[in-house]
A and B are shown apart, each in its own frame.
Chain A
Amino acid sequence: MSRLAALAPALALLVVAHAPARAQAAVESRAVYQRGVVGLEITFQAWDADRPWTKNTPGFRDATAVLVGDGRLLTTAQMVDQATFMQISTFGKPRSVEARILEIDHDVNLALLTVDQPDALEGLEPVRLAKGTPTSGVLRSVRWHGQQLESAASRITRFVVERSWASRVEHAFLHMRTDLNGGGWSEPVFDGDQLVAITVSQSEENSRSIPVEILSAFLERVDEPDQQRGFPTLGILWQVNRDAAVAGFLGQAGEPTGILVRQVPWGSSGCGVLKARDILLELDGEPIDAEGYFTHPRLGQLKFNHLVAESHRKGDVISVKVLREGQVRKLDMLLRDYPDGLDLIPSYTAGSPPYAIAGGLVLRELDLSYLASWGKDWSKIAPIQLLARYYFGQEAQTADRRRTIVLTAVLPSPYNLGYQDLREEVVERINGRTIGGIPDVVAALAAPLSGFHVFDLARDSTRGQVVLDAATFAAATAEILELYGVPAAVRLPATPLPPGGGECSGEF
């Protein structure tokens, strides 16, 4: 018998010996999934874009969450957005148990839910979070399908640093090629029995997930006081530095490296530290190349904003190295988040949009969801004056003008005769007062000008002014509210806007 022949049975034994171990691990993982993965049935209602006092017809979505301890369920913010009612299902069986939001972070698109009946979670076990996301291999995407647990293979393809769902925070997303059909509804992704990601979107077989580095950072911060929460971002607008002529012009010798800073918004981390036309060479000691990449110890080449999101907190001070006017400078930068409050036209409004009905004039805060109400081609067909402000007017935010107020339509009545055709006009001033939000509208209407309410519209409007009689304003407004079934004349912003950057005016 040859030596190979003698070896063969031994090898065969080895192979056979490992197979049960792997099968055993799979069975154990499956048990972890069954006990840790929970279904969500969500009823949601969007606010009507044109009548911001009403909610639209309820819609439904099924999503997934994972139990992460202390009776808390982790899912994405996007899934629970505008939720009117949420119910859970365990072991694939729907329970008549309501879930409610404990914590929601729109910067990283994550939410923590809880249920008020702890026995509803009986038989469940919290999952363990992995220390880090693997960089290659096959993971499992898990969800319930009726009472069947579905565990599909998902092969890691790459990491891409992108903006999160509704914010300017950027971090690495895990991209995979998955066997899961129609996913992207917050399915957890496991490596064996450990949680490594939560999937936020899927297009055909390509899925995109929030990696465990961000999940852990979010969970760590949930119990901290307010100022420690949230994810920082540089908040700058930049471009690649590939052009030898530009680099030469800015005084950079040799091969271009580092990225070109274009704009530094008011209130961002870079405000007061970075300037337009700086070349950002190093961030927190990490060199940045001409395309904006740095070398992550495990995940490889990533765009620089991930550095800030993963490894730092709001309030941290990090060092930056820039080339400015031909000189290399080392500077310290205080990290801030970039709350929607700093956008003149925010990409996301939590809850109901602030509005005011004044004598039949419907005034509301302009946000991205209002523009998106024009449909998938909104970027072409929405009114040009609103698009202009969204694309080119964002730098107009100042300390006393934080939002744009739009006269979206007029609820016709004899009181506002002559103005009933007005649509989508930006309001600049009311009764001489600059309007930067709904609270300004309320304050302005409390002080009419010599018996009249005077609305000065923006210079690109179809008319210059709306003038209404002040004495009959209140009675007319009440009649109009009655006639058109509007419950309240005013809805103020739910939360006050975060303060801006103080003294720093930004370079926009």
Chain B
Amino acid sequence: MRCLIVLWVLAVAAGPVAAAGLAGLEASVVRIVNFSQRGDWASPWELDPVAESAGSGFVIDGGLVMTNAHVVSDSRQLLIYFHNDPVPHVAEVVHIGHDCDLALVRPLDPAVMAAVPPLQFGGLPELGSTVDTLGYPAGGLQVSSTRGVVSRIEEQLYVHSAKDVHATVQTDAAINSGNSGGPVVQEERVVGVAFQANLGQENVGFFIPDEVIHRFLRDVEDGTYEGYPELGIAVSGLENPAPRARAGMTEGESGARVDRVYRLSSADGLVREGDIVLRVNGQTVANDGSVADGKLRIPFGLLVDRMLIGDSVAMHILRDGARLDLLVPLKGLPSMDSQGNFYDRAPRYFVYGGLVFVALDREVLKTYGDWFYEAPKELLHEFIVRPLLEPELLGQERVVLLRRLRHPVNSDTAWHRNQIVERVNGRPIDSLNTLVEALEQHQGDYQLIEFATARRFGVLDRRKANAAHAEILERYGIQRDRNL
């Protein structure tokens, strides 16, 4: 009798995890606490307060813990808690992919991992099949699991970077904050990493599927995370028969039209605007730009998504009536970085004469809250519209005069905030570094700063500005005049 009671008590103590047939897996699921600190893009010489957040992760082969990048970003201290182990273990980030929201971390003391069984990976689950999410969602400190079905398999925006689109799997298993980084399992194998939910919809959670996870693991095999390749083209559909006829496509032939080739991208110089993409890596492109992929259809860009930087993608195109084969070597597109959220870095800035210059990026716009509507028009125009109208701006770092720290050297002026700096002392500004050089190397009496719109300009008396430099920093409590 006593034995039975003990067993029963143990069964209850193990909780829903054991009852769901996931016994044993919980040992490999960890809780991760991150003490993080970010820069302040509104006052770029300052740091935000230290924040504390928690997520989940799981042990994989090689003595590593896999989790989401957003669980371990901007970390000042990382702690891992193992199941039924009260000891917090200090950990470090080994690899982090902000463009796919994945990261690998490990405890500083490798011995801690010796007895923990790694989880194994499965493949892509079937639509409608059952999956379990394991993790440490908000509301408790014990591991828990939730069960749901695979509702949809589709590409989605990865919210962490806010600019990358990859395959995701949608489930109605409850995924809450705290679940991030935890494994989604089926038949005791990891089929995904839980990572985001749609706050506006109920019973909608997402996990990162096998293809993204494995691309990430392949990428870091050589010791460095290179990141996703970008083909660098924008296409539109050819559902209407007229453009197909005009391009000389035959009956039944299908494809998508290249509307734009991004400067400095993989496709730059190889693919041209107006090309019709007929096949990618041997797969026929339909008139909506999709290709067949097992039982599903995916945008052809997701084929490139599965590749590594350094691979080449084969494209069969129609150009001026001729069908051509292209082999496009793949590289990343760092000039698009500023379009996404930044992590693990401080804002770039330079203060001179009390004028605060920063690089224009998404983080600067985010300081305006609902920035798409609330940010100053000059910044939105420069960030969203101008690079499309003037492609040569892509690859340049656009510099903003963010604000003026008032001082007699810059007072009594018609200085404008939030203006894009086009030229300094006649020199075109294509990066913050160029602006610093233009100001520091100038020998004339006046520093002329010209802005991008409405022919606005401002002038500083160079000697007075230089003489007041240290005093302005002192007065406003700024320790360093620059972060480049």
Q: Residues of A with Cβ closer than 8 Å to B? A: 237, 239-240, 242-246, 248-249, 260, 262-263, 276, 377, 380-381, 384-385, 387-388, 391-392, 416-419, 450-452, 454, 458-460, 462-465, 467-469, 507-508
A222 to B378 alpha-carbon distance, docked (Å): 42
- Report whether A460 and B389 are in contact in the complex, using a CB–CB cutoff of 8 Å: yes
Taking the nearest CB of chain B, how far is it from the CB of A236, in angstroms?
11
Taking a contact as CB atoms under 8 Å apart, the answer to whether B446 and A463 are in contact is: no
Q: Once the chains bind, are B245 and A469 in contact (CB under 8 Å)?
A: yes
Q: Which B residues are closer than 8 A to A by beta carbons?
A: 236-243, 245-246, 257, 259-260, 273, 287, 372-374, 377-378, 380-381, 384-385, 388-389, 391, 412-414, 445-446, 448, 453-461
The interface residues of chain A lying within 8 Å CB-to-CB of B260 are 459, 464
Closest chain B CB from A358 CB (angstroms): 13
On whether the beta carbons of B459 and A245 are closer than 8 Å, the reply is yes
**Contact partners of B460 in chain A: CB under 8 A:** 245
A237 CA to B454 CA in the complex, in Å? 8
For A249, the chain B residues whose CB sits under 8 A away are 445-446, 448, 459
Contact between chains at A245 and B388 (CB < 8 Å): no
Residues of chain A with a CB closer than 8 A to B461's CB: 245, 248
Complex: how many Å from CA A481 to CA B413?
A: 57
In chain B, what residue has the closest Cβ to A384? Answer: B384
Q: Using CB atoms, name the residue of chain A closest to B446.
A: A249
Contact assessment for A240 and B414 in the assembled complex, using a CB-CB cutoff below 8 Å: yes
For A388, give its contact among B373, B385, B454, B456 (CB under 8 Å): B385
Contact of A242 among B236, B378, B389, B412 (CB under 8 A): B412
Q: Which residues of A contact B456 (CB under 8 A)?
A: 239, 262
Per CB-CB distance, the 3 closest pairs between chain A and chain B, nearest first, are: A418-B239, A464-B259, A463-B236
Q: Is the interface of A mostly helix, strand, loop or mixed?
A: mixed
A419 to B242, CA, bound (A): 11
A260 (CB) vs chain B CBs: closest residue:
B414
- Specify which chain A residues have a CB less than 8 angstroms from the CB of B384 in the assembled complex: 384, 388
Partner of A464, one of B236, B239, B241, B380: B236
27 contacts between A and B (CB under 8 A): A242-B413, A243-B412, A243-B413, A243-B458, A244-B412, A246-B457, A246-B459, A249-B446, A384-B380, A388-B380, A388-B385, A392-B381, A392-B453, A416-B240, A418-B237, A418-B239, A418-B287, A419-B240, A459-B389, A459-B391, A463-B236, A464-B260, A464-B273, A467-B243, A469-B241, A469-B242, A469-B245
Partner among A459, A460, A467 whose Cβ is within 8 Å of the Cβ of B246: A467
B259 touches A463 (CB 8 A): yes
Q: Which of B287, B448, B455 counts the most A-chain CB atoms under 10 A from its CB?
A: B455
Closest residue of A by beta carbon distance from B273: A464
Name the residue of chain A whose CB is nearest to the CB of B380: A384
A451 to B244, CA, bound (A): 13
Q: A249-B448, A381-B373 are in contact. Are A465 and B257 (CB under 8 A)?
A: yes
Measured in the bound complex, the distance between the Cα atoms of B246 and A450 in whole Å is 8
Chain B residues, CB < 8 A from A391:
377, 381
Please determine whether A467 and B242 come into contact, CB atoms closer than 8 angstroms. Answer: yes
Contact in complex: B377, A387 (CB < 8 Å): yes
Chain B residue numbers with a CB within 8 Å of A260 are 414
From known contacts A240-B414, A464-B257, infer whether A276 and B455 are also in contact, taking CB-CB under 8 Å.
yes
> Provided the pairs A237-B454, A248-B446 are in contact, do residues A385 and B385 lie with their beta carbons within 8 angstroms?
yes
Shortest CB–CB separation between residue B406 and chain A, in angstroms? 13
Are B458 and A246 closer than 8 Å at their CB atoms? yes
Contact partners of A387 in chain B: CB under 8 A = 377
Tell which of A381, A392, A450 has the most Cβ of chain B within 10 Å: A392
Contact status A452-B246, CB under 8 Å = yes
B372, B391, B459, B461 pick with most chain A CB within 10 angstroms:
B459
Interfacial chain B residues near A380, Cβ < 8 Å: 373-374
